[in-house]
Structure 1
Amino acid sequence: MEDSGQVWLITGASSGFGRRLAAAVLARGDRVIATARSSDKLADLSTEAPSSRLHCMQLDVTDDYSTIQSRVQEAVGVFGRIDVLVNNAGFAMPGLLEEAGVEGAMQQFETNYFGAVRVTTAVLPYMRERASGTVVFIGSRSAWKADIPCTYGETLAAEVAPFSIKVLIVTPGLFRTEGIHTAPPYPGKLIAAYNSMRDMVMSRFAVLRGRTRMDLFGDPAKAMNVVVDVVKGQGKAEGKKWPLFLVIGEDAEEDIRKHGERIDGIMEEWGEVTRGTRMQS
């Protein structure tokens, strides 16, 4: 088959960022393997480009690893390689940590963390063999705002760098996508002590679902075009060094800057304690 640009494998491509990213990639002349838990949800996307440039297939990132390996092997066979893997599949489940408990946390991590680990682990051997590739993680600025930084992508970047494989961790703020804020609250136990906090959290999600404050949202199509710019070194990314983190959205920038300032403040106040633990000679 005649080469026609890069080959992108995108998870969660039926809606939201994934759908916009697929459109942006196709507009640049590249090829896309678009995946979703249900292939039926990709039916309308499949009409947007010929099969020589777009292939839609079922892939559930929560499946067991052997199944993921088989799906990735099938995906590689479509266009002969995968140049860019985009781990986009994920969901946000409103709820409080203690009320959701271990079961709620595992439900989130199965998709948002372990799902990305499964697909990435299955794709990396093909990239290492070619000594070329890019792995993108579509995350959230909430990882910074909620003080739960994701280290998987950072560690992976160091490990795969010798094989000329790059990692990009995308941290978007609020964007006007469908689906991401529609998950119902986790049906865990309700703890009376959290009633006021739970009401506040649920009210915020209601605003996001209802889109009553459109000024809170960014344009997801613009965001995904920026991702393509960075991966391809074009447009707004031309001439810039590769970023490990790509922060998108003014709200994301504000939260991450505040996180940095908070850490700086802690180091300044506690510096003497931090440095006072050296062994005495």
Structure 2
Amino acid sequence: MVNIRDRKVWLITGSSSGFGRCLIDSVLARGDRVIAAARSLESLKSLQGKNDNIRLLQLDVTDGPKIIKAKMAEAVTFFGGLDVIVNNAGTNFLGIIEEGGSAFLRRQFDVCFFGVMDVTTAALPYLRAQKSGTVIIIGSRSAWRPEFPVRIGSYASSKAAVHALAEAFSGELAHLNIRVLLVEPSAFRTGMFNSSGRMDGLMREDVIADYDQPRNAISNFWKTIPPPPGDPVKAMEAVVEVVKGEGVAAGRPWPTYLVLGKDAEKAILAKTEKLKMHLEEWSDVVRGVDFY
């Protein structure tokens, strides 16, 4: 039997599928409590009455800070508090950046960056009041390799921005005993990955002939790519164990970063090696521009 004082309350955005749904199962299996949030309550109906430790919350992360703060105030009443905020909601608008223009880039950032900002800042007053809590932000290995494959530039840009936001929060919240965990996964077998191809027509205000070749090439890439190796159940098990200091995380210090998947590891190592080479090859310029 889990001691009630050890039972955490998790609020998880994007709970209708993918990582969010897997995370719910992992959290409930440990006796913790879950507030499952999604744009539509209809998408969560299969969770209704599933467990006494779960409550449902309609929450669109793009609704803006005023509405989201009201939703967070409602969420706190379900179990009398909050301990873990999981920013999992996301989307991926495929397209050539120039063709889509800033309008579609803003749509991408509304979900993957400003949505994270608004949900987190709506939750922080409750975490600050109790001087404890955990903020989880689901990033992506795409932030480390935005140049490939073509047409994920808007998604990768939003994830790179949210990575920096997570690190900034980590620094600002540390003295309040509020931890931040930036999860950086490879491609996993989630609904977002499977639906990537159907986003094709959304991010295009103008069709530019100069991009026909990469556009066609990447369309074929998405059609023929095999299912990714990542198991979302195992990934979310690791997240829960890190938060609770159990299993793979037992006895280890708080990591701040949690890289999940061999492809993510490969992408990060490749980028850091590329930057290291630049610093070595251009060291005279790097170090030669100061007054002294």
TM-score calculated relative to the size of structure 2: 0.90
Distance in 1 (CA, whole Å) between partners of 2:74 and 2:193 is 28
Distance in 1 (CA, whole Å) between partners of 2:131 and 2:224 is 46
| Residues 221-256 of structure 1: per-residue CA shift (max 9 Å, x gap) | 000000001111110111112112110001111001
Match of 1:184 among 181, 196, 199: 199
The answer (yes or no) to whether the contact 1:16–1:180 under 8 Å persists in 2 is no
State the 1:95 CA deviation: 0.8
Q: Which moved more, 1:92-101 or 1:179-188?
A: 179-188
Q: Which amino acid aligns with 2:206?
A: K
- 1:22 matched to 2:24: yes
Match of 1:155 among 158, 168, 171: 168
Match of 2:210 among 187, 193, 201: 193
Q: Which amino acid aligns with 2:42?
A: D
Structure 2 gaps, min length 5: 148-156
> Tell me, what secondary structure is at the counterpart of 1:85?
strand
Distance in 2 (CA, whole Å) between partners of 1:237 and 1:4 is 17
State the 1:3 CA deviation: 4.3
Q: Which moved more, 1:235-244 or 1:257-266?
A: 235-244
> Where do residues 202-221 of structure 1 align in structure 2 (5 Å cutoff)?
202-207=219-224, 213-214=226-227, 216-221=228-233
| Residues 68-93 of structure 1: per-residue CA shift (max 9 Å, x gap) | 00000000111111100000000111
The answer (yes or no) to whether the contact 1:10–1:87 under 8 Å persists in 2 is yes
> Tell me, what secondary structure is at the counterpart of 1:229?
helix
The answer (yes or no) to whether the contact 1:94–1:201 under 8 Å persists in 2 is no
Task: Give the 4+ runs in structure 1 shifted more than 6 A.
Answer: none
The answer (yes or no) to whether the contact 1:93–1:181 under 8 Å persists in 2 is no
Distance in 2 (CA, whole Å) between partners of 1:279 and 1:250 is 43
| Residues 1-36 of structure 1: per-residue CA shift (max 9 Å, x gap) | x54600000000000100000111001110000000
Q: Which amino acid aligns with 1:74?
A: E
| Residues 197-225 of structure 1: per-residue CA shift (max 9 Å, x gap) | 111222233345xxxx13x3311000000
- 1:74 matched to 2:91: no
The answer (yes or no) to whether the contact 1:91–1:181 under 8 Å persists in 2 is no
Distance in 1 (CA, whole Å) between partners of 2:222 and 2:101 is 20
| Residues 120-174 of structure 1: per-residue CA shift (max 9 Å, x gap) | 0100011011000100001110011117533100011000111000000101001
> Where do residues 15-54 of structure 1 align in structure 2 (5 Å cutoff)?
15-50=17-52, 53-54=53-54
Q: Which amino acid aligns with 2:191?
A: E
Closer/same/farther in 2, CA of residues 47 and 180 from structure 1, 3 Å limit? farther
State the 1:39 CA deviation: 0.5
Counterpart of 1:168? 181
Q: Which amino acid aligns with 1:97?
A: I
The answer (yes or no) to whether the contact 2:92–2:199 under 8 Å persists in 1 is no
State the 1:184 CA deviation: 1.5
Q: Which amino acid aligns with 1:202?
A: S
Q: Which amino acid aligns with 2:208?
A: I
Distance in 2 (CA, whole Å) between partners of 1:86 and 1:48 is 20
Distance in 2 (CA, whole Å) between partners of 1:60 and 1:84 is 18
> Tell me, what secondary structure is at the counterpart of 2:290?
coil
Distance in 1 (CA, whole Å) between partners of 2:12 and 2:28 is 12
Distance in 1 (CA, whole Å) between partners of 2:83 and 2:127 is 7
Counterpart of 1:13? 15
Distance in 2 (CA, whole Å) between partners of 1:39 and 1:258 is 41
| Residues 98-126 of structure 1: per-residue CA shift (max 9 Å, x gap) | 11110110010000100000000100011
Distance in 1 (CA, whole Å) between partners of 2:111 and 2:210 is 29
The answer (yes or no) to whether the contact 1:61–1:115 under 8 Å persists in 2 is yes
Counterpart of 2:86? 86
Distance in 1 (CA, whole Å) between partners of 2:199 and 2:75 is 32
Q: Which amino acid aligns with 1:153?
A: A
Closer/same/farther in 2, CA of residues 140 and 10 from structure 1, 3 Å limit? same
Aligned residues: 272
Instruction: Compute the RMSD of aligned alpha carbons.
Output: 1.4
Distance in 2 (CA, whole Å) between partners of 1:83 and 1:237 is 18
Counterpart of 2:109? 109
